[in-house]
Structure 1
Amino acid sequence: MSKVFFVTGAGRGLGTDIARQALAVGHRVVATGRHPERVLDALGGAQDNLLAVALDITDPDAAATAVQAAVDHFGRIDVLINNAANFYAGFFEELSDAQVRDQIETNLFGPMNVTRAVLPVMRAQRSGHVLTLSSLAGVVGVDFCVAYSAAKFGVEGFMESLHHDVAPFNIHTTIVEPGFFRTELLVDASTTYAEGSIDDYAERTAATKKVWESMNGAQSGDPAKLADALLKVADLQAPPLRFVAGDDCLQAVETKAKTLLAQVDASRALGSGLNHDDA
């Protein structure tokens, strides 16, 4: 059954793969990006089932305008895929306050802006599915990713709670947790390194930056296969609340789950029995 997909960050990387594959199987696609002409070029030009729309996800008014354009053109929105993101890399003390805020503005408030604009459409339909890209870094915190992880951990909480808000309207939600896929997240246009430089971090910063730069284009995950998997998730009658994608992420999330259980057990002696005596 043909659906209307609304995809953010569709001008390159995973967003392009999702939009292209959705079109190939007969879905209608609203493909958004800051430069809609680049979106059209990436997807092979104008097509009957394609609407390319300008969207800066950090701008709530732009999100509302893009959603209205989608409804005016296709009449509905069945699947929202919050894909657009960027990456501010660096140790916390070397990242400026402005960089951390920009990271959270894009990677957390961005999906919130678009979702807020789309939900009235889905509520009126009494149907819909919101998929938001989190990350392995939204489950497991690692060094040099503090700003990115802060935003993606926020995405996890946002989407997990949103599920309860919208389930009565037959709107499904899925948190997508990919590992390392060969997308364009690590290219210069998407990755920004810390502005600051602190002597105590300098050697580690140089070495870690070199590692991240060497990973660009060498990640093991195939974004075309991930796009195919996401289309299948979007087609499920009862989609999962979380979709863990990639062998590396499956293993890491499983390890994190076991670690959390161990930490609960380790906290039990001191963490229990803390209620008021009359409770």
Structure 2
Amino acid sequence: MAKTIFITGASKGFGKIWAKAFLERGDNVIATARNLDNLDDLVQKYGERVFPIQLDVNDRDAIFAAVQKGKDYFGRIDVLINNAGFGLFGAVEETTEKQARDQMETNFFGLLWVTQAIIPIMREQKSGHIIQLSSVLGVVTFPTLGLYNASKFAVEGLTESLVQEVAPFGIKVSMLEPNAFSTDWGGSSAVHTESNPLYEKVKADLFASFTPDFFGDPTTTTAAVLKLVDSENPPLRLFLGKIAYPAVKQNYEARWAEWNEWKQVSDEAHGF
């Protein structure tokens, strides 16, 4: 049976790749973007199975209206893919207040508002699947991406609570955790801080650590996303790419070692 998928940030990158994959197999897609011109090719090829909506995810009222329009058009919404977001590159000290707030407004609050808008519809249906686009950088961190890391860590905490809250309504919740892929995330859609020479070395060392196969091919993620959407028992987290898993494994082994080293101090702090 065809599903109806609501995708934010569907004009390029993962959002557009996944929208095409859903449409190609016969699903319906509610595709949101700031610039609807970037969705014209989908409309021309797939016709009424695409419902394009102009949307800025920083506008909470517009989000609720868009979700309702999509539901009215197709009659239901089976899957939400909360994909809209951007990368902020720069050291924590370099980051301006506006840059920090913009990063959180889009990557966290925008995702929160879409989630809030979709829950009543899925609750009424007694079914649905909310998929948040997090990142492996919501589980481990890179230097000079501190605000982006923070936005995705916030998504992780929100979603871990959400899955417990909506399970009684028949709503499933997952997070996609991609490692680096060759999308526009680090290109024209990215924001960069004004560089401080003191952080040039840490930035250079980070880029020097990237191997030739560090960046995955975004088009090859479609099979994994389709499998996640079709799963009767989807995971809370699904890593995308072969770099993510070993990075997380190494990080958590180091965490456990440090926590165990300080366990006695932690226990003593309890008081009794």
The alignment's TM-score, normalised by the length of structure 1, stands at 0.91
In structure 2, the partner of 1:52 is 52
Code of the aligned partner of 2:132: T
Structure 1: 5+ residue stretches without partners? none
Q: How does 1:63-212 map to 2 (within 5 A)?
A: 63-188=63-188, 190-195=189-194, 197-201=195-199, 203-204=200-201, 207=204, 211=207
Cα deviation for residue 7 of structure 1 reads 0.5
Cα deviation for residue 206 of structure 1 reads 7.1
Code of the aligned partner of 2:253: K
Segments ≥4 residues shifted beyond 6 Å: none
Residues 1:63 and 1:219: Cα distance change in structure 2 (over 3 Å): farther
Cα deviation for residue 219 of structure 1 reads 5.4
Partner SS state of residue 84, structure 1: coil
In structure 2, the partner of 1:16 is 16
Cα deviation for residue 43 of structure 1 reads 6.1
Code of the aligned partner of 2:196: I
Identity across matched positions, percent = 39
**2: distance between equivalents of 1:255 and 1:261?**
10
Code of the aligned partner of 1:70: G
Q: Is the 8 A contact 2:173 2:236 kept in 1?
A: yes
Cα deviation for residue 42 of structure 1 reads 5.4
1:232 aligns with 2:227: yes
1:254 pairs, out of 249, 254, 260, with 249
Q: Is the 8 A contact 1:11 1:42 kept in 2?
A: no
Q: Is the 8 A contact 1:30 1:70 kept in 2?
A: yes
Residues 1:97 and 1:75: Cα distance change in structure 2 (over 3 Å): same
Residues 1:218 and 1:33: Cα distance change in structure 2 (over 3 Å): farther
**2: distance between equivalents of 1:221 and 1:248?**
9
**2: distance between equivalents of 1:119 and 1:61?**
15
Code of the aligned partner of 2:176: V
Cα deviation for residue 122 of structure 1 reads 0.4
Partner SS state of residue 185, structure 2: coil
RMSD: 2.0
Code of the aligned partner of 2:219: A
